[in-house]
Every structure is written in structure tokens, then in C-alpha cells.
Amino acid sequence: MQAVFVQLKCDLGKAYEVASGLVEDVAETSEVYSTSGEYDLLAKFYVEEGVDIGRFVTERVQTIPGVSGTFTLITFNAFTKA
């Protein structure tokens, strides 16, 4: 599995609805955080190796009602405390 982080801009007043939609409708969703700054939410997804991440984001994430923009971060290695 590969971790993908997506920052989301939401329509005004829609951040909670978007977060709920991600959790309820996108099986690959691991966590969703509300954030301050340029983006309203930060979502972590786990996708299978070889999945077209661009297609996943455009077809599964950007289509959630209330999403007005995204910024995707693709990860390589996870470093954890032993």
C-alpha cells in the first residue's frame, strides 16, 4: 500500500460535509484532519501499489460535493520511532 496525502480546499461552509463524504464514500481514506491556512482539510489515503494516483484523486476525491481544489503529496518512505 502507498500513502497519499491530499490537501483540500472546500466551498465556504462545506468542510465538515466534505470530510464526512471522504470518510463515508472513499474506502481508501485513512484519516481526515481540519487545518488552518490555504487548505481546509488534509486527508490521508492508502492506495494499492500501481494505482494511477492522478485518476484516483480526480475521480474519487475531487468529485466529492463541496471540493473546490486539491494539492496532492505522494509519499516514498515512512520513518517511525522504533
CATH of the domain at 16: 3.30.70.920
Q: Is residue 13 part of a domain?
A: yes
* Mean pLDDT across 20-45: 97
Q: Is residue 51 part of a domain?
A: yes
> What pLDDT band is residue 78 in, cutting at 50, 70 and 90?
confident
Residues 45, 28 contacting (CB under 8 angstroms): yes
d(CA 50, CA 54): 11
User: Given this model, what pLDDT does residue 37 score?
Assistant: 94
* Mean pLDDT across 25-52: 97
Domain of residue 45 covers: 2-74
Q: What is the mean pLDDT of the chain?
A: 96
d(CA 17, CA 67): 10
Q: Is the pTM of this model over 0.85?
A: yes
Q: Is residue 81 part of a domain?
A: no
Question: Is the model's pLDDT at 82 over the cut of 90?
Answer: no
d(CA 39, CA 59): 20
Q: Is residue 12 part of a domain?
A: yes
Q: Is residue 79 part of a domain?
A: no
The count of domains in the chain is: 1
